[in-house]
Chain A
Amino acid sequence: MGRDRTWLLLLPALGLLALLFLGPLAWFLARTLFVETAPAEVPDLFVDVLTARSMQIAALTTFWVSILVTLATLVIGYPIAFYLANRRGWRAALVVFCVIVPYFTSVIVRTYALTVVLGRSGLINELLGASGLIGAPLALLYNTFAIVVGMAYVLLPYMVLTLYATMKAIDPSLLRAGRALGASPLYLFRRVYFPLSVPGVVSGSLIVLILALGFFITPALMGGPGDVTVAMLIERAVEILIDWPSAAVMSVVLLTATLILFAVYARVTDLRRMMGA
């Protein structure tokens, strides 16, 4: 390692990160918490923000929604990843295509598209109404359900690709051995395959959870009046109330929660192994 200079290759990426992420973040926090706020007032500011009912409920909403989204992507993503890991050919290519392409489309566009599908006179309600299954339109949009659908749709690729990487590394000869010894497919899955895929389940879930915590566009566009997340409160403090110190405190809280989850993620996942090294 001593004479290995490959780390130099990371310099441009690190420079970009420092310039575009760490720099502005430090500027914003320093300016709002140390220049615009008297140092003695900072602890009170934290107490004020953290004890506000709106912040506590928003924090609960944010976590609850993120957990629901994680579970939804896991339930939908696991079978997809399983299929991809065990099949080849044009069908598998088509599935990969369907998982990847939305990933390259703007989140705003995808979220708007979903509002067209879920709305009162949207695709689903029109179809159900025309088939006589429902009398009045269902409330599919502007509630927690809509947010979970929208976010799960956006975050699904992260779950599928993470699970795929783990599943692809599972040695098929283990399954063959199990089958030769008379294990039923269900037993094989429960006792051999699933336990081996657990690292993927854990890291996929953590990635989705981390990304979901900071989501703004989807909850703002698809949620109802009571669906307020921490990211939405931050936006309100910055844009509407021009109360940057409070926004800074909320950002610190959200960033801390994210970093804690990331630390857990880094511990449970050997990143280099996941890259196939």
Chain B
Amino acid sequence: MPKLSTTPTRRDLMVGSAALLAMPAVITNPARAATQLRVRTPGGSFDEIKRRTVYEPFLKETGIEIVPVPSTVGKLLAMYKAGQVEIDCIDTGNDANLMLEEAGALVPIDYGAFRYTKLEDIDPSLKLPYQVGSFVYAFVLCYRTDVFKPGSEPKSWSEFWDTQAFPGPRTLAGIESGAPNLEIALLADGVAMDKVYPVDIERALKSMGRIKPSVPKFWDTGALSAQMMADKEAVLGVLWNTRAQASIDGGAPLGIQWNQNQVLVQSYAIPKGAKVPEAALKFIDYSISEDVQKRWLAEYKAIPVNTKVYPHTSKLLLDPATGTPWTVSKGFRNDINWWSANRTKVSRAWSNWVL
């Protein structure tokens, strides 16, 4: 057998990877802070924007350094069960935080200790005992502008379902994303936005069955949904508006139609066993305060939870007819409690339907 030593690239590769592995440490640790706060975050461009607009100003203000850590609900739960919690603050979907709350893995939010945020400014439906909203976004109808000229795109979910008038492959959230687009399937079937819950699972899947032949893949992560639209694996999709907007900002030929949007919430929580819970609370308080939400959400295109910031929301997120965010004028709120109670049932029904 020819000797491997004749292939020098292997060594180069290893040296190269070692250097790459060390890179994040170089970038994220410009100076050692007195306190480090380990926050579970979605990572990627989300953190890049938040570092400039929230983490670094917070470090200057308080001396507390934010260390973003990737994690899933499963991993957080495993940490909790093993009694070895390596995270001080959780920044994730409100449905995931509800799961952790129901597992007993969270501590209550002490709103009395808030100093930066005026509590009356926060949307009351997002100030919950164990979690507080950090921003609002939505499932929206996303389309390729090189296939459907803006103005001639589908304007409702029934039109999205009309594969004759609007041909081409589509992508929607599937079970692996945590919550498949059953509500949207019901809207396409003619159910009114305020009558979606409790979801008629059978009817929703029947409706979904009508569009399934045009769905090469249901997406599991927001990244995949954006990738499929950018690569033209799909010309229409149900996407998070934040992901769609990030792709548009990156130059992808995509458009957003806000009619019948499903409103979603990103939220903060503090896990049981956090090493510095006071610092976590301070960070939460700081990041939903008026000034910080204004600065951060001017760059990250999402709707603030601080109602004082509504007038400063990016124009892209405001309905010109009402001057309020599209989520207020044209949306309906995702019901995480329904999902929490029915996710297992949905998974079973989905498996029988998809196979």
With A53-B351, A104-B13, A225-B212 in contact, do A238 and B2 touch (Cβ < 8 Å)? no
A239: chain B residues within 8 A (beta carbon): 72-74
The number of residues on chain B lying at the interface, defined by a beta carbon within 8 Å of a beta carbon of chain A, is: 38
Interface residues of A in 105-157 (CB under 8 A from B): 116, 119-122, 139, 141-142
Least distance between B153 CB and chain A CB atoms (Å): 20
Cβ-defined contact, B74 with A238, below 8 A: yes
The CA of A242 and the CA of B10, in the complex, are separated in Å by: 41
B189 at interface, CB cutoff 8 A: no
Cβ-defined contact, A141 with B1, below 8 A: no
- Dominant SS at the A interface? helix
B277 at interface, CB cutoff 8 A: no
Cβ-defined contact, B77 with A54, below 8 A: no
CB < 8 Å: which of A100, A224, A232, A241 contacts B344?
A241
A47 at interface, CB cutoff 8 A: no
Cβ-defined contact, B217 with A224, below 8 A: yes
Cβ-defined contact, B232 with A121, below 8 A: yes
CB < 8 Å: which of A101, A116, A241 contacts B9?
A101
Q: Which of A120, A122, A232 has the most CB of B within 10 A?
A: A120
The CA of A264 and the CA of B23, in the complex, are separated in Å by: 45
The CA of A232 and the CA of B347, in the complex, are separated in Å by: 13
A168 at interface, CB cutoff 8 A: yes
- Dominant SS at the B interface? helix
Q: Interface digits, A226-237 against B, CB 8 Å rule (1 contact, 0 not)?
A: 101000100110
Cβ-defined contact, A100 with B4, below 8 A: yes
A223: chain B residues within 8 A (beta carbon): 217
The CA of A93 and the CA of B3, in the complex, are separated in Å by: 8
The CA of A27 and the CA of B354, in the complex, are separated in Å by: 33
Q: Interface digits, B207-219 against A, CB 8 Å rule (1 contact, 0 not)?
A: 0000010011110
Cβ-defined contact, B10 with A104, below 8 A: yes
Cβ-defined contact, A220 with B176, below 8 A: yes
Cβ-defined contact, A54 with B231, below 8 A: no
The CA of A236 and the CA of B176, in the complex, are separated in Å by: 6
Q: Which of B4, B72, B81, B82 has the most CB of A within 10 A?
A: B81
B220 at interface, CB cutoff 8 A: yes
Q: Interface digits, B131-159 against A, CB 8 Å rule (1 contact, 0 not)?
A: 00000000000000000000000000000
CB < 8 Å: which of B2, B74, B99, B178 contacts A88?
B2
CB-based nearest B residue for A137: B232
Cβ-defined contact, B7 with A121, below 8 A: no
A164 at interface, CB cutoff 8 A: yes
B322 at interface, CB cutoff 8 A: no
B13: chain A residues within 8 A (beta carbon): 104
CB-based nearest A residue for B235: A120
Mind listing 21 A-B residue pairs with CB under 8 Å?
A27-B82, A31-B81, A54-B351, A54-B352, A84-B1, A96-B1, A116-B231, A119-B233, A141-B233, A142-B216, A168-B1, A220-B220, A228-B351, A228-B355, A232-B176, A238-B74, A239-B74, A240-B178, A240-B343, A242-B99, A242-B103
Interface residues of B (CB under 8 A from A): 1-2, 4, 6-7, 9-10, 13, 72-74, 77, 81-82, 99, 103, 169, 174-176, 178, 212, 215-218, 220, 231-233, 343-344, 347-348, 351-352, 354-355
Interface residues of A (CB under 8 A from B): 27, 31, 52-54, 57, 84, 88, 92-93, 96-97, 100-101, 104, 116, 119-122, 139, 141-142, 164, 168, 220, 223-226, 228, 232, 235-236, 238-243
